[in-house]
Structure 1
């Protein structure tokens, strides 16, 4: 069983940019519950189905499998909740960690978050100056919740 240990941060608008092209991601959810979520994601020219358990602190179980891109596109259109999550992903290496910065488009336009995966929940992380604040424990920023309650609808 794979474990995902991840911290999530809000990012100061475009202070981190000028890194060149990112990678377009589209993802949708087949199921979301308190116990788990099941999503389909296209990531450039690849596609995956991912099952994630509920988060405990910053850790959760994760199972991910590559699937045919055409199947993923059909599933996104016909089976997933709408609107899909749409974002541009940039990878930024900073002091030994890779931050994945997601600049959301579509219904979540205006939201930019950075995630960093860790080997251990207590692993120290140096934060770049473009990090605003941590939102790891705020479920509003979970992608599964952004699918059903997009950032553009927040008051």
Structure 2
């Protein structure tokens, strides 16, 4: 079984902005159950179908499959509204690829950086733009942001 081990951080400055352009992402969920989710994503000109299990700490099972772009477009129409929209940037720091998501729509203003690790105990050097860690805060999971957008939070 494929396991995703990921840590998430709020972004505390614009120092990450220098670098390659990001890719637009539109994604939705066919299933938003707490035990499992089924996500459809269009990233640039590629389509993906992803099945994720329940999060345990910073790990969860993940199976991702590239699908034809047209299929992804059709499946997005079947997703539970609303769709999640963001631009993803990749930045390297200390040998690790950080994915920075700048959210749009109802989550505009939220910028989250995440990094995948080989195991939960792996050491990590934070880039200077990484702020507070939110790995354990389920509100920042994409699944949660689709159901309860950032703009609706009373206190952030």
Q: Shared fold by TM > 0.5?
A: yes
Aligned alpha-carbon RMSD (Å): 0.9
Instruction: Show the 5 A alignment for 1:5-154.
Output: 5-76=5-76, 78-154=77-153
Which aligned segments of 4 or more residues in structure 1 are displaced greater than 4 angstroms? none
Cα shift at 1:68:
1.0
- 3-state SS of the aligned residue for 2:144? helix
Structure 2 gaps of 5+ residues are none
Q: How many residues align?
A: 154
Cα drift, residue 13 of structure 1: 4.2
- Structure 1: gaps of 5 or more residues: none
Deviation of the 1:2 alpha carbon: 0.6
- TM-score, with length taken from structure 1: 0.96
1:82-131 per-position Cα deviation (integer Å, ceiling 9, x unaligned): 22111111111000111000000111100000000000100010001101
| 2-structure distance, mates of 1:97, 1:143 | 21
Q: Secondary structure at the match of 1:60?
A: strand
Q: How far off its partner does 1:74 sit?
A: 1.7
1:66 is displaced (CA, Å) by 1.0
Q: Deviations over 1:5-52 (max 9, x none)?
A: 000100014232122311111100010112111000001111110000
What is the distance in 2 between the residues matched to 1:37 and 1:81? 12
C-alpha distance in 2 between matches for 1:148 and 1:28: 10
**Partner Cα distance (1:20, 1:45) in 2:** 17
Matched residue SS, 1:101: strand
What secondary structure, in the 3-state scheme, does the structure 2 residue paired with 1:73 have?
helix
